[in-house]
Amino acid sequence: MNSIESTTIKKTMKRILPFTLLCYVIAYLDRVNMSFAALEMNADLGLSAEAFGLLSGIFFIGYFLFEIPSNLIMHKVGAKLWISRIMITWGIITILTGFVHSATHLYIARFLLGVAEAGFFPGIILYFTYWFRGNERGRVSSLLVMAMPIGTIIGAPLSTWIMDNISWSGMAGWRWMFIIEGSLAVIFGIVTLFYLKNRPKDAKWLTEEEKNWLENELDRERQQSLLVNKSSKLEMFKDSKVWKLAFIYFANYTAMYGLGFWFPSIIKSFAATSSNIEIGWLTIIPALIGIPSMLLFGWSSDKRNEHKKHLIASFLIAAVGFILCGFTNSAMIMIILIAFSAIGLYGFVGSFFSFMTLFFTESTAPAGIATVNAFASLGGFIGPMIFGQLAISHGMFLIGILAILACVVVLSLRQKGESVISRQEENVINPS
C-alpha cells in the first residue's frame, strides 16, 4: 500500500469510525432499552406479554414507512445535517417516553421513535460509500455494527443500574432510564452537526492531494459499478437481487431483535429470583461472544472475497443454536446456546453490509440500501411478536427454520457484484 493510500485511509477511518460507532451505540441502546424497562414497566402499566411484543415491534413499523424517504433526503441535504436531525428528534421522543402513563401513550411513543430514527443506520451505510472503497467496507461495516454488542454490554448493566438506583422526584427507575439515555442522543446529535463532513472535498483534516486521491478512487469504483448494476431506481426495484437481499437481512433482523427485546424476560422466566442487575450482566454474554465473531467474519469475507460462504456459515450456526434452544428448560444451557447462536447472528452483520453495497450504483444506493434495510426492519416487528405470541421453545424453532430458509436464498443469489470488487482489487494491486 503506497504512502498516500495508507495515510488517507488511516486518517479517514480514525476520524469517521469512532464517532459513528458511538452514535450507533446510542441508537441501539435507545431502541432496545425497553427490554430492560419491561422488568418493571410491564407491571406498572399492566402490560401483557402480547401487548409488550406488539410494543417492542411497533417501533419498526414507523421505521419501515419512513426509511426510504429519509435516505433520499439525506442524499440531497447532506449527511451531517440529516443525521443530526435524526438523533435530536429520537432523543427527545425517548425522553418523553419516560413520562408515559398508559399502554396507549407507549404505543404512540414507540411508533414515533421509529419514525424519528428511520434512515439513521442505512444513512450511515450510505455515508460510508462516500468515504470508503468497496474492499474496505466490510471492515468498516463490521466496526460500525459492533455498536450492537457494545450497546448491549454497556446498556444492560447501565439500564438496570439506573432502574435499581435512581428514583429522583419519586419517579420509577425505568422512567429515569429513558430520560437519561434519551438525553445522550440529543447531546450527540448537536455534536454531529459540527463534527461530520459530507464528502472528502469538505474534509479539512485531509490534504488536497489526499482529497483528490480518495475522490478519484471512489469515482473509479462508481464507474465500474455502472457496468454491471442497474443504473435507474425503477430497474433496481424490478431486480430480484434487491428483494433477496431484503429477505436475507430480514431473517437476521427477526432473530436479532426478537432476542434483543425478550432475552432479559426469557432469563427472568427461567431464573425468577435474579435481580435486575444480575439479569443485566447475564444479558451481555451473547454480545461478548458476538464482537470477535463480527470482526472475524468481516475481515475474512473481505480478505477472501467470499461473502456468500460466510453468510451461509453464519445462518447455519444460528439455526443450530436456536433449534437446540427449543429443547432446553435450563437457564444456563439456554444462555450458552444463545451465545453460540450469536456467533452466527453477529458474524452475519460482519460480512453482509459490504456484500450488499456491491449491488448498487451511486444513483441507486440511497434508495437501494434503504429499501433492503426498510423491509428487513419488519423483522424487528415480527421477532418480538413471535416471542410475545408463542411459547419460547416454539419461537426458537421458528427462528431456526427462518435461518435455514435464508441459507437457501443466499445460495440462489448470483454474485455478480462480488466479481466487480475482485476486478477493482486487481486494478488497485496491478494498475494498468
Interhelix angle for 79-97 vs 173-195, to 10°?
Answer: 170
* Cα–Cα distance for residue pair 242/232, rounded to 1 Å: 13
0.75 exceeded by the pTM? yes
Count other C-beta atoms under 10 Å from residue 332's C-beta: 11
At 246, the amino acid letter reads A
- Looking at residues 221-237, what average pLDDT do you find? 68
Q: What is the pLDDT of residues 366-399, one digit of tens each?
A: 778 888 988 998 998 898 888 888 888 999 999 9
Whole-number Å distance between alpha carbons of 311 and 248: 9
**Of 96 and 265, the one with more pLDDT:** 96
pLDDT digits (tens, 9 = 90+) for 110-141: 999 999 999 898 889 889 989 998 778 767 88
d(CA 36, CA 112): 20
Question: Residue 260: which pLDDT band, with cuts at 50, 70 and 90?
Answer: confident
Gap between the terminal Cα atoms of the chain: 16
428: pLDDT strictly greater than 60: no
Query: Are 308 and 396 in contact, with CB atoms under 8 Å apart?
Result: no
- What superfamily does domain 3-429 belong to in CATH? MFS general substrate transporter like domains (1.20.1250.20)
Averaged pLDDT for residues 356-360: 79
Does position 60 have pLDDT exceeding 70, yes or no? yes
Give the Cα separation of 137 and 299 in Å (integer): 10
DSSP 82: H
Residue type, 277: I
Given a cut of 60, is residue 191 above it in pLDDT?
A: yes
∠ at Cα 223 (417, 420), nearest 5°? 20
Confidence of residue 429 (pLDDT cuts 50, 70, 90): very low
Question: How many whole angstroms from its chain centre is CA 268?
Answer: 26
Q: How confident is the model at residue 226 (pLDDT cuts 50, 70, 90)?
A: low
Could you count the other beta carbons within 10 Å of the beta carbon of residue 76? Answer: 8
pLDDT at residue 232 in the model: 62
CB 360 within 8 A of CB 304: no
